[in-house]
Chains A and B, each alone.
Chain A
Amino acid sequence: MAGRKAVELVVYLDLLSQPCRAIHIFLNCNKIPHKVKTVAIRKGENRTPEYTKLNPMQKVPVMVDNDFVLTESDAILKYLATKYDVPGNWYPRHPERRARVDEYTAWHHTNTRPHAAKVFLMEVLLPHMTGQPADPLKVERALADLSDTLEKLENMFLKRQPFLCGDDISLADLLAVCELMQPLGGGRDILKDRPKLLSWKSRVQSALGDSFGKAHTVLYSLRDRSKAKL
């Protein structure tokens, strides 16, 4: 058909954002053709009139597939995993195995995500925004909550299996690893004394290949700048 509009998948991402990295990695790992538009939150690019028109909640990530606009990394990843021809382990079709991934991705919202993000917030973002040093009591509290979550990851999800939801990497591991990388931006390695999680992370990184490092370049730069300050 002449003059057919090219299929265009656009994602609006800030690679300092954990869920944005998960999407970046997924697209690259699975070689899904797409365009990335960067949105630098620290520069307020999410608050421009054009961006607000696209997403009134002024958040990242956002996916636009032709005219279809979608927010929420959870929903975006599941949409992509279903629409494109990706290996079945990402979001299995078998009901029980799929349920396991849905179970983790739900739990993730109120556990892994907020607890890892809070450490980064207390140690890096707030000090940066306010010019005040990090509040040690608040950091301690955030670390305690995170420790709780890490223990649950080790003793529940990773108790008898190499990946969070089974024998192979899935969307669950992708979302989790991006969250657990975040505190590194402040120079803090939260997994360093946790061998079980370290080996899990190593397996995940292996499975993701180059796309992992590429997505985390911005975070690594931030880490290097943070370490230089210490």
Chain B
Amino acid sequence: MTLEMYLDLFSQPCRSVYIFAKKNNISFDFMKVSLLEGEQYGEEFGKINMIRKAPAIRDGDFCLAESIAIMKYLAEKYQTSDHWYPADLQKRARVNEYLSWQHMGIRMHGSKMFWLRLLIPKIMGVEVPKDKMDGALEDLEGSLKLIEEKFIGDKPFIAGEQISLADLVAIVEIMQPVGSGLDVFEGRLKLSAWRDRVQAEIGKELFDEAHQGILASQEMVKNMDSSKMQIFKPKILRLFL
């Protein structure tokens, strides 16, 4: 029975799982979930994943959510190259350290930028107040600085000499604000050099394929039917405004 992966490539963690599976030649059925149309709240999806988030996988009877748990599971099951999630205790701990920090450390800030710049103006019909935008930008810049200085430092990749899940998870999050039209790499030489290395390891074709959607988001969001997205209004008011 084939592995099913429930993905929406607008979502950063979906991209990391997609890239990981493709890069490692793991065959799967791509089950498209359209998050912006609220498909994760439907009955069908609830059967796959009680947490109602994408990415999610169904491997026979086994269903799993959370991109990090998914990639670790796949790495083990398909015995992928050691560098992705090293067996060495200390190297693995470095990868886990980044994967743990990033939930609040960068993911939150990068996602927020995407919402503030593109989705909220579309759904709510108003621009986000300047002070909120400035605050979010400051948070994002702080995170990027930490990634450059503490996590990458003088190494080619976060865990050391080779690419790992940490770099994969980092790059997809950093690309999210880029999709909203904010070039976070500008003026950040170290980050740009790291990005080039990560892209080279993943392969430009696969990287571009995974990011095609998000990089076209400005145009796409413009053409979206905002009436279908009203389901997000309460979330927006609670989280962002």
A and B physically associate: yes
Give chain A's interface residues, CB within 8 Å of chain B. 56-57, 68, 70-76, 78-79, 82-83, 95-96, 98-100, 102-103, 105-107, 109-110, 114, 141, 145, 152, 155-156, 159
Picked from A71, A83, A102, A156, the residue with its CB within 8 Å of the CB of B68 is A102
Could you tell me the distance between the alpha carbons of A139 and B96 in the complex, rounded to whole angstroms? 33
What chain A residues lie within 8 Å of B93 (beta carbons)?
A: 68, 70, 75-76, 78-79
Interface string of B93-112 (1 = CB under 8 A from A): 11011011101100110000
- Give the top 7 A-B pairs by smallest Cβ distance, nearest first: A109-B103, A102-B69, A75-B96, A74-B100, A72-B100, A106-B66, A103-B69
7 contacts between A and B (CB under 8 A): A68-B93, A72-B100, A76-B93, A99-B64, A106-B67, A109-B100, A110-B103
Dominant SS at the A interface? Answer: helix
What chain A residues lie within 8 Å of B69 (beta carbons)?
A: 99-100, 102-103, 106
What chain A residues lie within 8 Å of B51 (beta carbons)?
A: 103, 107, 152, 156
B237 to chain A, nearest CB (A): 11
- A68 and chain B: residue at smallest CB distance: B90
Interface string of B186-211 (1 = CB under 8 A from A): 00000000000000000000000000
- B239 and chain A: residue at smallest CB distance: A145
A83–B89 CB distance below 8 A = yes
Q: Contacts A68-B90, A71-B101, A83-B89 given: A57-B77 contact, CB under 8 Å?
A: no
A109 to chain B, nearest CB (A): 4
Q: Contacts A99-B72, A106-B68, A107-B66 given: A114-B97 contact, CB under 8 Å?
A: no
- A111 and chain B: residue at smallest CB distance: B51
Picked from A72, A95, A109, A141, the residue with its CB within 8 Å of the CB of B97 is A72
Q: Contacts A75-B96, A103-B65 given: A114-B89 contact, CB under 8 Å?
A: no
* B216 part of interface (Cβ distance < 8 Å): no
- B61 and chain A: residue at smallest CB distance: A96
A75–B100 CB distance below 8 A = yes
Could you tell me the distance between the alpha carbons of A56 and B70 in the complex, rounded to whole angstroms? 31
Could you tell me the distance between the alpha carbons of A57 and B68 in the complex, rounded to whole angstroms? 23
Picked from A83, A98, A114, the residue with its CB within 8 Å of the CB of B104 is A114
- A67 and chain B: residue at smallest CB distance: B90
B64 to chain A, nearest CB (A): 5
Interface bracket on B: 20 to 34
* B50 part of interface (Cβ distance < 8 Å): yes
A75–B97 CB distance below 8 A = yes
Could you tell me the distance between the alpha carbons of A57 and B97 in the complex, rounded to whole angstroms? 13
Could you tell me the distance between the alpha carbons of A106 and B99 in the complex, rounded to whole angstroms? 9
What chain A residues lie within 8 Å of B73 (beta carbons)?
A: 95-96, 98-99, 102
What chain A residues lie within 8 Å of B96 (beta carbons)?
A: 72, 74-75, 78-79
- B53 and chain A: residue at smallest CB distance: A107
* B130 part of interface (Cβ distance < 8 Å): no
A170 to chain B, nearest CB (A): 13
Q: Contacts A68-B90, A78-B93, A78-B96 given: A57-B150 contact, CB under 8 Å?
A: yes
What chain A residues lie within 8 Å of B92 (beta carbons)?
A: 79, 82
B108 to chain A, nearest CB (A): 8
What chain B residues lie within 8 Å of A70 (beta carbons)?
A: 93-94, 97
B104–A110 CB distance below 8 A = yes
- A93 and chain B: residue at smallest CB distance: B76
- B95 and chain A: residue at smallest CB distance: A75
* B224 part of interface (Cβ distance < 8 Å): no
What chain B residues lie within 8 Å of A79 (beta carbons)?
A: 89, 92-93, 96
Q: Contacts A72-B100, A72-B101, A114-B104 given: A102-B89 contact, CB under 8 Å?
A: no
Could you tell me the distance between the alpha carbons of A1 and B89 in the complex, rounded to whole angstroms? 24
